[in-house]
Amino acid sequence: DARVTQTPRHKVTEMGQEVTMRCQPILGHNTVFWYRQTMMQGLELLAYFRNRAPLDDSGMPKDRFSAEMPDATLATLKIQPSEPRDSAVYFCASGFGTGFAKNIQYFGAGTRLSVL
């Protein structure tokens, strides 16, 4: 049963601390997406990768957020320093797509982040 795995599931931290969220995409998928869900905004795209290369991170606050794919089985989203307004559920999704292909994204269970 292939699935996207996210760790940790829950994270509580204090303002100013570094937070790292991890995602293992489904084996064979070449696109990885990071989303943030808040009560008001629904699902916002933060960044995404194709074949490990970042294609778009325009939704991400550049000064404190960074996203990387060290290898094909791991994507990371870091926040440094964290702020209370970063509290949200962060989802990772993966899919298989080329430039113009219409593909389905498969989501992980999310990381619920609380910054105190």
Binding site for other proteins (CB under 8 A): 4, 31, 33, 35, 40-45, 48, 50, 55-56, 91, 93, 95, 97, 99-110
CB atoms under 10 Å from CB of 28, counted, come to 9
Whose Cβ is closer to other proteins: residue 44's or residue 83's? Answer: 44
Shortest Cβ 102–other proteins spacing (Å): 4
Q: Which residues pair with 34 in a beta bridge?
A: 47, 92
Q: Is 94 helix (H, G, I), strand (E, B) or coil?
A: strand
Whose Cβ is closer to other proteins: residue 2's or residue 55's? Answer: 55
Q: Alpha-carbon distance 5 to 15, whole Å?
A: 26
Shortest Cβ 71–other proteins spacing (Å): 21
Whose Cβ is closer to other proteins: residue 33's or residue 65's? Answer: 33
Residues 6+ apart with CB under 8 A from 107: 4, 35, 91, 92, 93
